[in-house]
Amino acid sequence: MKTHTIRRAVLPGVAALALALSACSASNEGGDAEESTGGVEAGSLSGQYTIGGASSQEAAQLAWTTGFTEVQPDVTMTYEPVGSGGGRENFIAGGYIVAGSDSYLTDDEGELTDATERCGGDAPIQIPNYVSPIAVIFNVDGVDELNLTPETLGAIFAGDITEWNDPAIAETNADADLPDAPINAVHRSDESGTTGNFTNYLSVRTPDTWTAGEVETWPSEFGGEGAQGTSGVVSAVTDGQNAIGYADASQAGDLAVANIGVGDEFVGPTPEAAANILEVSPQADNAGEQQLIFDLDYNTEESGTYPIVLTSYMLACPSYEDQAEADVAKAYLSYILSDEGQDFAASEAGSAPLADSLQEEALAIVETISAG
């Protein structure tokens, strides 16, 4: 008799679960998309694909995976923000058909060779998908505009300049009422491509002050407040006193952003100014015909160019063994690089669209993707 009480206690739970599992799916999710069986004609693709990579691309990729359903309603794309390294690892292992990365592939750790092997012996396609300016955001009482030379910027983040009314800052900000207060420099506490690009800029422009080189994890000896993720930096600067930090410009929100010295002028992180940097930068040494990869020219004195940007690349194979994979990869990358895709990411994720010429070059490369 008594065992029935146990049964009575357990059964409703199991039943409820079974009901929940069988009956409903989220109200906003479409019908069951079936697994792609291969050989599907372009234009009517279907299936579920998981891609992933740099978490800095999460917002833009979210916009694209969402917008892509307009083009290919039966394809469900999911972007996993597993980090650039994880994205490259999964791409090489064959888990992702395309991946997002905030740096191009090199053979420092054999990744280029491995990726070439994954693509059946051809060097993988690497194309930029957008440019994202890294804004220097600040929250200082009574200061709305701030002009910083690269040297001053490096000294602030290296902890050499610790007060807002330091002569070095005052020199380029004659009109500003700089407070006599300590600088609270905020950096990313987690490993990130944003930190990598930012420190790369500092190490090129102020090698004597910023001695750590290009690092993705902030070196603790340079001090400052560490905050998790871009949103962490933004809210630490917003909530903190007399704080300054660096973050993806799209997320700066209402915070004031500093202008950075380029040549004789000071340039703010506008999308146009950021897109310019790729125009003036040389291609990387190991770029072939199917790679559009750049070594950013941080020393540029070109007018109207904002030098601190996060470059974002997409990795894909020139040819896939599976026809459906080739079709989906081609369709997705074509969408990303289309005017529609670039505009959608700009409005939904705040990313800076690629310059027209670059966009066309990249599209031409994507067109060559084939199966077999």
Partner 1 sequence: MSTIQADPAPPSDPLQEEGSTGRAGDSIFRGLATGAGMIIMLALAGVAIFLVLQSIPALGASGEQAYGADNIVVYIWPLLFGTVLAAVIALVIAAPLSIGVALVISHYAPRRIARLLGYLIDLLAAVPSVVYGLWGRETLQGWVFPIYDWLHDNLGFLPFFEGPVTTGRTILTAGVVLAVMALPIITALCREVFLQTPVMHQEAALALGATRWEMIRMAVFPYARSGITSAVMLGLGRALGETMAVALVLSASGIVTFNLISSQNPSTIAANIALNYANASGTKVNVLIAGGLVLFLVTFAVNFLGRYLAARGRAKA
Partner 2 sequence: MTDTLHEPFHTDPSTDLSTHVPLTKPQLPSIATTLAAAVSWGLAGLPALLLSWPIAGWVVVGWILFVLALPTWSGLIEGGRKAVDRLVTILVWSTFALAMLPLVAVIYTVVERGAGALSVEFFTASQQGVLGEGGGIYHAIMGTLIITVIASVISIPIGIMAAVYLVEYGKNNRLSRTLTFLVDVMTGIPSIVAGLFALALFTLLLGPLPRIAIGGSIALSVLMIPIVVRSTEEMLKLVPEELREGALALGVPKWRTITKVVLPTALGGIVTGATLAVARVAGETAPLLLIAGTLRGTNFNPFDGAMQTLPVLIFGEATRGGLAEYVPFQIERAWGAALVLIMIVMLLNLLARVVGSLFSPKTGR
349 binds, among partner 1, partner 2, none (CB under 5 to 8 A by kind): partner 2
Task: Label each residue of 32-83 as H, E or C.
Answer: CCCCCCCCCCCCCCCEEEEEEECHHHHHHHHHHHHHHHHHCCCEEEEEECCC
**In angstroms, what is the minimal distance from the CB of 293 to partner 2?**
25
Q: Which amino acid is at 8?
A: R
Distance, in Å, from the CA atom of 24 to the CA atom of 142, rounded to the nearest integer, reads 55
Task: Look at residue 88 and give the partner it binds from partner 1, partner 2, none, a contact being a CB closer than 5 to 8 Å depending on partner kind.
Answer: partner 1
Whole-angstrom Cα distance, residue 25 to residue 169? 57
Judged by CB under 8 A, the chain residues 167 through 186 that form the site for partner 1 are 182, 184, 186
Nearest residue (CB) to partner 2, 345 versus 366:
345
- 8 A C-beta contact, residue 222 and residue 214: no
Residue 61 lies near partner 1 (rule: CB under 8 A): no
Q: Which of 42, 81, 122, 302 binds partner 1 (CB under 8 A)?
A: 81
Beta strands in 119-203 (DSSP E): 125-139, 147-148, 184-188
Q: Write the single-letter amino acid at 301.
A: E
Q: How far is the CB of 250 from partner 2 (least distance, A)?
A: 6
Query: In the set 226, 270, 286, 364, which binds partner 1 (CB under 8 A)?
Result: 226
Nearest to 96 by CA among 269, 354, 360, 317: 317
- In angstroms, what is the minimal distance from the CB of 32 to partner 2? 11
The one-letter amino acid code at 253 reads G
The upper half-sphere exposure of residue 59, i.e. CA atoms within 13 Å in the direction of its Cβ, equals 19
CA–CA distance, 106 with 287 (Å, rounded to integer) = 10
Q: By CB under 8 A, is residue 85 in contact with partner 1?
A: yes
The C-alpha atoms of residue 116 and residue 5 are separated, in whole angstroms, by 62
Assign 146 to helix, strand or coil. coil
Among the listed ranges 42-50, 227-235, 254-262, 326-334, the one in contact with partner 1 (CB under 8 A) is: 227-235
Chain length of the chain: 372
Interface with partner 1 includes 238 (CB under 8 A)? no
Question: Which CB atom, from 218 or from 294, has the smaller least distance to partner 2?
Answer: 218
Q: Which stretches of the chain bind partner 2, using CB under 8 A?
A: 2-3, 5-6, 9, 13, 17, 20-21, 25-29, 50, 56, 58-59, 62-63, 66, 69, 76, 78, 80-82, 86, 89-90, 93, 228-232, 234, 247-248, 250-254, 348-350
Which region, judged by CB under 8 A, interacts with partner 1, from 25-33, 61-69, 232-240, 306-314?
A: 232-240
Q: Which residues bind partner 1 (CB under 8 A)?
A: 3, 6-7, 10, 55, 81-86, 88-89, 109, 182, 184, 186, 189-192, 212, 215-221, 223-228, 232, 236, 239-243
